[in-house]
Each structure stands twice: as C-alpha cells, then as structure tokens.
Amino acid sequence: MEAQRDHLAPLVVSDSPVEKFREFLEIRGEKLTDRRRLLVDHIFNSHKHFDADELVRDLHDAGHGVSRATVYRTLRLLVEAGLLRELRLTNRSAYEHDYGYPAHDHLHCTSCNRVVEFRNDEILRLRDAISAAHGFRPSGHRFLITGVCAACSRAHSPRRRLDLI
C-alpha cells in the first residue's frame, strides 16, 4: 500500500511509544512481552499506512518469527491504547500512527489502494462550528474521501474514440 505524506511533521511527545504501551498494558494487568516490544519498535520505526498482512510479511522478511495471531492481538491493543489509528478502507483495515502525529484526514484510491494524508483547517473549522451548534465537544474526527487518484484516472481513460462506444 503506497502512502504519500503531505510532510506532516511528527509532534514532540514526552514518552516513547514503547513507554506509553507499557503503561497501557500495566493498567490492564498485562505485560510488555518481547514480541509486543518488537512489534511496537517495528511499527514506529517508520511512518506509513499498513495492513496486518503487510506487517506480518515485513516482520517475516526481517527475520522475525511473530505469529499472525500475535500481530492481530497487538494491533488491536495498540489501537485501544491510542497509539495506532485504524482506517476502515473499502475492502480492508489499514493502520497508521496516531500517537505523536498531528490530526489529519485521508484520500483513498479504490483502484490502486494509495492513501494520501492531508490537513485542512477549513475542515477543522467546520467540525468545530457543527459541534458548537449542537452543544457537542469534539475530541477528534475521521474524514476519508474515497475515489480514484489522478494516475489511475489517466491509466483508465479512453484513448480512442471507439473506447467511448
């Protein structure tokens, strides 16, 4: 899955993702195992959108034997801990860093699965205005535009007059 970044710079945070995850697990009475630490380190080593299958494949390619079940359980825990955000795309779920990155929205190409991040202050103003009108205090939002990117549109555009028939 290709992700294009709109150069959203990471935020300065006081605790590392591993420290935040350890704290979350301790509150639940669970431990930060070596496998969970490996997953957090691997995921937060780079910022990209990924799905569970890609993560399993990346770990395997890097020589780490982590079971698919451990990956799925840990992803769920990382979302619950507020470290990852789950994006429900057309035919799958993708994940991205939530901890340490600014709020942003997404474009998703349903043809090539490309995900583009963007930030728009007008959307934030609209969210706040709608919330205020309803006496609602927003803590966040998710805005996902689905469609076809320019590259896929060009690749699938009719090139000959007969293609229009």
Report pLDDT digits (tens) over 28-60.
Answer: 999 999 999 999 999 998 888 899 999 999 999
Tell me the two tokens of residue 20: 């935040």
CA-closest candidate to residue 5, choices 92, 88, 116, 161: 116
- Using pLDDT thresholds of 50, 70 and 90, give the confidence band for residue 24: very high
Structure-model confidence comparison of residues 99 and 62, the more confident one: 62
Reported pTM: 0.75
CA distance linking residue 56 with residue 155, whole number of Å:
31
Range(s) of the chain covered by CATH 1.10.10.10: 12-100
What is the mean pLDDT of the segment spanning 17-24? 94
Q: Which CATH class is domain 12-100?
A: mainly alpha
pLDDT at 2 over 70: no
Q: Model confidence at 10, in pLDDT bands (50, 70, 90)?
A: low
Class of domain 102-165: alpha beta
Dump pLDDT digits (tens) for 100-115: 777 888 999 988 888 8
The one-character DSSP state at 10 is P
Measure CA of the first residue to CA of the last residue in the chain; give whole Å.
34
